[in-house]
Chain A
Amino acid sequence: EVQLQQSGAELVKPGASVKLSCKTSGYTFSNYYMSWLKQMPGQNIEWIGNIYGGNGGTGYNQKFKGKATLTVDKSSSTAYMDLSSLTSEDSAVYFCARMGYYYDGTYYYGDYFDYWGQGVMVTVSS
């Protein structure tokens, strides 16, 4: 059974940084991309970026470049996201989500999110 277990809620001060974790099990970590997504209260879901479990290669939404840094630890099948220089606009629920894909014999298709973590609330407040 595929599982993504995220770390607990965070209360952080403005200007500080926070590191979120997403520990996975039930599948081969190095064969998939992991994405991180943001959802502010009552708002849309936004894609922050993704990282390949095999080699740590990353891609970011332009909006979040400089704000988020994605890393992985293959030995523990865990993905991490560092958020820096936090402001009230960073208060949100953050999700990790595995990116699903399929192969039709010629091409790979994907970029949807087939398994999600439970989400972690980050509150930025002094």
Chain B
Amino acid sequence: DVQMTQSPSNLAASPGESVSINCKASKSISKYLAWYQQKPGKANKLLIYSGSTLQSGTPSRFSGSGSGTDFTLTIRNLEPEDFGLYYCQQHNEYPPTFGSGTKLEIK
């Protein structure tokens, strides 16, 4: 199985700032990486797939980049609703596998 290593595990930032979350695959996954947001009491939300394609409804302050083994999720101009848990997931091969998550907290 493809191992996904996500960093950092925790991140604190203030509204209006920009942050980046990294995801590294144990082997090349081409461009096939997705990013999700998880918040208590809400359904998980797909933000980005295929590395950089924004899912319908994802605000433009979110962007994804990378290919091969190294990927980054960047959130610019943080809004209060952006705080929560973020996961990456490779969708290049079966079984789909997830990173361990990044908790984005308000500073």
Contact = CB atoms under 8 A, between A and B. Distances in A.
Contacts of A110: 91
A26 to B, nearest CB: 13
Given A4-B43, A111-B91, A115-B43, A46 B98 contact: yes
Majority-rule SS of B interface residues? loop
Interface stretch (B17-25, B44-52, B66-74, B76-84): B44-52
B96 interface: yes
A73 interface: no
B55 A113 contact: no
Interface residues of B, number: 24
B87 interface: yes
A114 interface: yes
Nearest to B49: A112
B17 to A, nearest CB: 26
Given A47-B97, A61-B95, A100-B49, A113 B43 contact: no
B50 A45 contact: no
A62 B45 CA distance: 26
Interface residues of A, number: 23
Contacts of A46: 98
Given A44-B99, A117-B43, 11 more contacts: A47-B97, A47-B98, A62-B95, A100-B46, A100-B49, A109-B32, A111-B91, A111-B92, A111-B96, A112-B91, A118-B42
28 contacts: A4-B43, A44-B98, A44-B100, A45-B89, A46-B98, A47-B95, A62-B95, A95-B44, A97-B44, A109-B32, A109-B50, A110-B91, A111-B92, A111-B94, A112-B46, A112-B49, A112-B91, A113-B34, A113-B36, A113-B46, A113-B96, A114-B46, A114-B49, A115-B43, A115-B46, A116-B45, A117-B43, A119-B43
Interface of B: 32, 34, 36, 41-46, 49-50, 55, 87, 89, 91-92, 94-101
The 3 A-B pairs at the shortest CB distance, nearest first, are namely: A111-B91, A112-B34, A116-B44
